[in-house]
Amino acid sequence: MRRSRTIIALGVLLLLVIGTVVVWQQTRGPATRIAEALDTLPGETQIASFTDWRLARDDLDAGVSSQSSPKEKERFFDAAYTKDYTAVSLLATVEAAMSSSYGWSVLDTEWEMYGQGRRGAVAVLKMPSDFDFAAADAALTDIGYPPADSQGCAREARTW
């Protein structure tokens, strides 16, 4: 009798542990930055590529940003490409134009995710928590981009 109670108690305890793990995994959000980035792409996406800019900067011990000198950027891009961090980046080749036009670039981001489908493509950038979105919106509007709506999206961005 005592043994069957012990087995039942262990079974209940095991079910509680399994239930707790399942709930924790379902509610904690994406486990990795790439999972977080994939979650931003439309369901129709057929091809995706990911660049972890924060990892590249951290691993290469580079404090590089859009405000760095051209020489610092060149050293970083050479080293990052050699280590295969930026080989699939859509925006690495236009960093200089982004910096001069927008005042920020991929060098200031956490990650870049590019997705392509039959009807179009999208590039998603995750900005750091201290990024000044109001200044970025103003800069984009000044150079001719449509103003963002209340959710931060341009009308054209929601058609895909």
* Residues 3-34: tens digit of each pLDDT: 777 777 555 555 565 655 555 555 555 578 89
Whether residues 77 and 123 share a domain: the answer is: yes
Domains: count for the chain: 2
Whether residues 23 and 52 share a domain: the answer is: no
Q: Are 54 and 37 in contact (CB under 8 A)?
A: no
Q: What is the Cα–Cα distance from 79 to 91, expressed in whole angstroms?
A: 16
pLDDT attached to residue 159: 43
Whether residues 141 and 98 share a domain: the answer is: yes
Whether residues 69 and 93 share a domain: the answer is: yes
Whether residues 68 and 144 share a domain: the answer is: yes
Q: What is the Cα–Cα distance from 156 to 86, expressed in whole angstroms?
A: 28
Closest CA to 100 of 122, 145, 132, 70: 70
Whether residues 66 and 4 share a domain: the answer is: no
Whether residues 107 and 138 share a domain: the answer is: yes
Whether residues 16 and 39 share a domain: the answer is: no
Q: What is the Cα–Cα distance from 102 to 43, expressed in whole angstroms?
A: 29
Whether residues 79 and 117 share a domain: the answer is: yes
How does pLDDT run across 91-105, given as a tens digit for each residue?
Answer: 999 999 999 999 999
Residue span of the structural domain in which 18 resides: 1-30
pLDDT attached to residue 44: 92
pTM: 0.73
How does pLDDT run across 49-108, given as a tens digit for each residue?
Answer: 999 999 999 999 889 999 999 999 999 999 999 999 999 999 999 999 999 999 999 999
Whether residues 9 and 66 share a domain: the answer is: no
Name the percent of the chain lying above pLDDT 90: 60
Q: What is the Cα–Cα distance from 107 to 73, expressed in whole angstroms?
A: 9
Closest CA to 105 of 87, 125, 120, 130: 125
Whether residues 38 and 113 share a domain: the answer is: yes
Whether residues 11 and 63 share a domain: the answer is: no
